[in-house]
């Protein structure tokens, strides 16, 4: 079994290690998935890295891939059982993105048309020159 970083006081670390009970849906070497006990909609679940990596910036890419695969597995089950109008995969990093628990996770959120939930922005046309300039800077950093 792989040893993962664990953080004292992290609710997801406590769920991973079994110190806090959960409604587990899936578990493999790198991830677990469980029901959100504060669901935004019925069926709301989380795919979580077993190790304590607060954000995508610290997470090994292999674990990111594993968490994404777990999220896909849960979303497929939600589609079969709930037949939702859609499913959001939501992943936040840091307080500015309203990250609720500083441990890498993806929300798998079944949706219905007009369910009253909204994401936190309204699309507006961008300044093409500003987009192009930022594009060049990001390419240079990659």
Closest CA to 103 of 1, 23, 8: 8
In three-state secondary structure terms, 103 is coil
Locate the DSSP E strands across 70-139.
86-90, 105-111
Q: Is 52 a catalytic residue?
A: no
Beta-carbon contacts of residue 112 (< 8 Å; ≥ 6 apart): 41, 84, 85, 86
What is the rounded CA–CA span in Å between residue 82 and residue 43? Answer: 8
Catalytic residue among 52, 105, 107, 135: 105
Closest CA to 91 of 129, 128, 64, 122: 64
Between the CA of residue 132 and those of 71, 86, 95, 136, what are the distances in Å? 33, 32, 27, 6
- Annotated catalytic sites, by residue? 105
């Amino acid at each position: 079994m792989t040893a993962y970083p664990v953080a004292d006081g992290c609710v997801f670390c406590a769920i991973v290690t079994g110190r806090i009970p959960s409604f587990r849906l899936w578990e493999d070497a790198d991830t677990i998935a469980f029901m959100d006990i504060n669901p935004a909609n019925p069926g709301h679940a989380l795919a979580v890295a077993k190790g304590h990596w607060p954000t995508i910036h610290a997470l090994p890419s292999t674990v990111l891939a594993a968490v994404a695969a777990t999220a896909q597995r849960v979303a497929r089950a939600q589609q079969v059982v709930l037949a939702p109008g859609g499913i959001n995969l939501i992943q936040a990093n840091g307080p500015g993105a309203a990250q609720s628990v500083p441990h890498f996770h993806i929300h798998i959120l079944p949706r219905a048309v007009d369910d009253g939930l909204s994401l936190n922005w309204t699309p507006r046309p961008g300044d093409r020159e500003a987009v192009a300039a930022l594009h060049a800077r990001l390419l240079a950093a990659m």
